[in-house]
């Protein structure tokens, strides 16, 4: 009889300790490791823009001292750096590749324009581009088409957009300039953002 009572007490204590352990475990904060950041790969291979094309892009956009030039997919930074050296233009280059950003910053130091240009590692589709008065591009046709709604939505009316080699589908350019260089034929397309977008 005594053994039976003791067994009951032990069983009750065991159940109580299991219940307590479960309750404490349920109340303990769960910590889950944050998901590792997904590294985005560049969608566009880096191909430097020929200097003659850079000159034509800046010329057709009438880039000047009071402009803020955004180069989307800025590579080695040559377009904002050239504009800063030549006209005193403020420039921002955006590129997803950290190596390109490193190159661009080194080139800005060499050119002595670090007070006028800055380079941001980031996704051009997520970048804040509202400050731009000029946007330059050397991307790919499908990337231009995906970018077009952002340009028309975020840029102020009158902002100038210049693209090397690739157009914007049915957003017809105001000017199309062909350049015949040793490296082959190059095309420069020019648009102005209309009032109310498209």
Q: Is residue 7 part of a domain?
A: no
CATH number at residue 113: 3.40.50.150
Indicate whether 65 belongs to any domain: yes
Residue at 198 is within a domain? no
- pLDDT bucket at 31, cuts 50 / 70 / 90: very low
Whole-structure pTM value? 0.78
- Residue 8 falls inside a structural domain: no
**How many domains does the chain contain in total?**
1
| pLDDT tens string 74-131 | 999 999 999 999 999 999 999 999 999 999 999 999 999 999 999 999 999 999 999 9
Q: How confident is the model at residue 39 (pLDDT cuts 50, 70, 90)?
A: low
Residue from 63, 57, 71 nearest 175 by CA: 57
Least Cα distance to 77 among 39, 44, 110 occurs for: 110
22 domain residue, yes or no: no
Region 24-49: mean pLDDT is: 55
Query: Which pLDDT belongs to residue 197?
Result: 57
Query: Does a structural domain hold residue 16?
Result: no
Instruction: Give the range of the structural domain holding residue 129, as residue numbers without chain letter.
Output: 51-192
């Amino acid at each position: 009889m005594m053994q039976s009572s003791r067994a009951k007490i032990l069983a009750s204590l065991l159940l109580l300790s299991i219940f307590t352990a479960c309750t404490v475990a349920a109340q303990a904060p769960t910590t889950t490791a944050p998901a590792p950041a997904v590294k985005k790969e560049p969608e566009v291979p880096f191909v430097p823009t020929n200097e003659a094309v850079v000159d034509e892009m800046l010329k057709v956009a009438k880039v000047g001292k009071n402009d803020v030039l955004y180069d989307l997919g800025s590579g080695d930074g040559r377009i904002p750096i050239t504009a800063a050296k030549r006209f005193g233009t403020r420039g921002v280059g955006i590129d997803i590749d950290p190596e390109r950003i490193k190159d661009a910053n080194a080139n800005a130091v060499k050119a002595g324009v670090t007070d006028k240009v800055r380079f941001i590692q980031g996704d051009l589709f997520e970048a804040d581009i509202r400050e731009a008065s000029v946007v330059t591009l050397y991307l790919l046709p499908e990337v231009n088409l995906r970018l077009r709604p952002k340009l028309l939505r975020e840029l102020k009316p009158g902002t100038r957009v210049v693209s090397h080699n690739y157009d914007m589908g049915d957003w017809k350019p105001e000017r199309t300039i062909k350049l015949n260089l040793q490296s082959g034929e190059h095309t420069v397309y020019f648009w102005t953002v209309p009032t109310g977008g498209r």
